[in-house]
Chain A
């Protein structure tokens, strides 16, 4: 049997919980063989492939995933603080390169300080660096230097989550139907 090109890299990265981004070479191979990979992951591992125009990742049924929650809280607070600072937070998340000091400034002066201090992944600068490194490993952020990072297209998973949550809250009857 002939496997698609970059098959091993695609499987390894997705199985490690990594996002594959549209600007990466093996994304095209994945996209061209979407049907194959959807079946492959479903039959082999009972996992769902989520392939969007800008990124791809595998979905897990395991709801005990703390990483996703920590990242959600991180982006939520950062977005809130950026908006409070008078900045267009969507634009900043899309294009801005953050320094770790800048992030620390937002978190240390946040009114969500109780929530931040009670979360192991966010409570201090070192914990936040570990979380950012974890996001880097999964391709949610890219790091050009040790103290700088920017969000990749993968952060839109979380942005979409916030959007859907708002829609559900605004129309509770929709949430029940879903």
Chain B
């Protein structure tokens, strides 16, 4: 059809690239391209298990020769191991594709979008079970000694031993690779076998019930990313990289912004600018010499200028006591004078002050 549509040039080109080959007056796509198309479209032709079963003999033959001639030519042994690995890979691939196709067919039956009647469904299900599912299960059943899976398990055990004790290192490495591959293979086959046992074998039982909702779900799961799901409201969580983040942050901070006008006035609080004039008080003191009660004199002097005397002013004046020009006489009796400042009551000894005698 393709060739008819695009004419003679396409015909020549496709044959030149070995995409198609002539079949009498017709053309046929070569197998490698057919498989590629199957893979790309993810649509596989169901294979009769007989086609898959042939791997039992190909894997078995290679395994037999490897064991029997393991001490002969090294190169041919290496080649046989690689071929065995290739055969196993092909086998697993075919099993996976077949299971996938069978799942798809049986889901169709369960979904029953065509709404075929029950008798027809049973007929179809019996067909799939008899010709495809049961034989495939026999191939995969590890408990069955004749199954391919059981054969692969034997190879795996052998490879495990040889990867450790084979004399030649190159061959040991080949066995190691084969063993690793077979571990993965066994786990893949186990998964396929589970699908067969749990989902495909009970098909007759499963198609008994039908539900419109399940039909919908099966159809949805065929391609869930290409269907519109119920349109829920997106949560209002804001990401830091959201387009409106700037405005949201601004709005958030604006609520804490102080909008009232704050006026800061210059302080009008009066503070005492009194500075102790040492010379003035010293002159006053010297003029009143001798002074019998130094602290009492200080108090009286300050009282002349201030109604209430602050402690720091009082102590500033008391500093005169340390002047080198004054001599302090301590009283013999313990006489004290009590003075009161704005913040404290102070009890002080009565000290007599005289001018110091200067020795020339």
Contact = CB atoms under 8 A, between A and B. Distances in A.
Interface of A: 14-17, 47, 57-65, 67-69, 71-73, 75-77, 79-80, 83-84, 86, 89-90, 109, 111-113, 115, 138, 157-159, 161-167, 169-170
Interface stretch (B53-61, B209-217, B242-250): B209-217
Given A68-B231, A76-B220, A161-B229, 5 more contacts: A84-B199, A86-B205, A89-B211, A162-B213, A165-B216
Contact of B219 (A115, A157, A165): A165
B342 interface: no
B218 A80 contact: yes
Interface of B: 103, 113, 115, 191, 194-195, 198-199, 202, 205-206, 209, 211-221, 224-225, 227-236
Given A14-B233, A60-B231, A83 B115 contact: no
Contacts of B228: 63
Contact of B217 (A14, A162, A167): A162
A86 B207 CA distance: 11
A18 to B, nearest CB: 9
By secondary structure, the B interface counts as helix
Contacts of A86: 205
Contacts of B233: 14-15, 17, 47, 57-60
A167 B213 contact: no
B213 A163 contact: yes
17 contacts: A14-B233, A47-B233, A59-B231, A68-B229, A68-B230, A68-B231, A76-B221, A79-B213, A84-B206, A90-B211, A157-B230, A159-B213, A162-B212, A166-B212, A166-B219, A170-B113, A170-B115
Contact of A72 (B113, B195, B220): B220
B234 A90 contact: no
A72 B230 contact: yes
Contacts of A163: 212-213, 216
A72 B221 CA distance: 9
A62 B234 contact: yes
